[in-house]
Amino acid sequence: MDKLVVEGGNRLKGEVTISGSKNSSLPILAATLLTDRACVIKGVPNLKDTNTMFKILKSLGKNIVFDNGVVTVTQAKASDYVADYKLVSTMRASFCVLGPLLGKLGKAKVSLPGGCVIGVRPVDLHLKGLKALGADIDIEGGYVVAKAKMLKGAHIYLGGEYGSSVLATDNVMMAACLAKGKTIIESAACEPEVSDLGEFLIKMGARIKGLGTPIIEIDGVRSLHGGEHTVIPDRIEAGTFIIAALITKGDVVIRNVVVEHITAVLDKLKEAGATVRTFKGGLRVSFRRNLKAVNVTTLPYPGFPTDMQAQMMSLMSVTKGVSVITEKIYPDRFMHVAELNRMGARIQREGPHAIVQGVERLSGAPVMASDLRASACLVLAGLVAEGRTDISRMYHLERGYENLEVKLQQLGAKIWREKG
């Protein structure tokens, strides 16, 4: 099994272009199940997760052509309604085929999902929303089996214990597009990726209002046609490269960024003393002075994203002072703490909080990635650590970052793959 090796101590400098959003691409690809017509999706990153979604769509009757970030989806054979365990169990986002299958075919059998091990992430909100639309749902042998002679619009509250759910909002919104009548989703997720999916659905002929707000209204239509769409840039990749520049005291221009999508991250970094200059379509991060420790609390959008928590912890681990990082989305998402401590960090976990005492330096060490964002966290730590850091289980990284090591190499990092 391959591992990623990082030799720390190099200041990053240059330009990098951010890839299309993984978290937009996956539900948008799933939405092509709502039609038999051709769809063209541009800006799709070449990742393990997107390739898994291609396989799922093929198994459900679609033909996929992927060329230089452009995906063309056409109908290859009669649609199937069973999303197999072997594929769905590897990636949580694949569960978002449930809504479009139910909406288009009136039935769906989808394996309960897998993905990163970052704590309990139930699918109860997905099922609650689809039941409200009139679906009969059972759990049989590890599969969600959903049936509906006709979905009907409903007023649905999708708030959960830890706030709104992105994938549940996606699933219900897609199913509601072909339901009879009006659907109102209250406490809908406001993330840019949800809005991006909604914009694609509108291009397919859906009637949707309120994207980007907690209340989304969908007027059902009889059918959807094909559409062409370009996915938004990946805001989490952008945030990761911003922190890479800061942690190495570098000077990096980051292009293909929607700055408004990362306001919470930029605000917290500016509070820490970072120098960030924005321009149309991007920003420049340059080290001017030492940063100070800041407290961080993850929240649903537009709050500080949980997907940036681990990366921020890497930065705080080498920032003078004490910071408290509170995880309010996935309270168990702290498996990277032990690995950072192996590198010399001083981090203590107290329930949903991590207390980080900044240290002067980290030391390279063999570490193990537990999930996608923890992988990025360890890469960032390796960039600033003295000596060599060997990161095993790098397949997590390949799920969500397109050519990360190549992009870092182009900025001057010493990073490469080795056989484990």
User: How many CB atoms are located within 10 Å of the residue 407 CB?
Assistant: 21
Residues 6+ apart with CB under 8 A from 246: 269, 274, 285, 287, 291, 315
d(CA 236, CA 404): 13
Is residue 177 flagged as an active site residue?
no
Q: Which position among 116, 177, 190, 377 bears the catalytic label?
A: 116
CB 172 within 8 A of CB 99: yes
Residue 95 is given by DSSP the state G
Handedness of CA 336, 338, 340, 345 (dihedral sign): positive
d(CA 364, CA 382): 6
Angle between helices 22-31 and 192-203 (to 10 degrees): 30
CB 116 within 8 A of CB 105: no
Give me the residue label for tokens 């570490």.
367
In angstroms, the first-to-last Cα distance of the chain is: 5
Residues 6+ apart with CB under 8 A from 280: none
SS3 at position 364: coil
d(CA 349, CA 330): 14
User: How many CB atoms are located within 10 Å of the residue 246 CB?
Assistant: 26
**Residues known to be catalytic:** 116
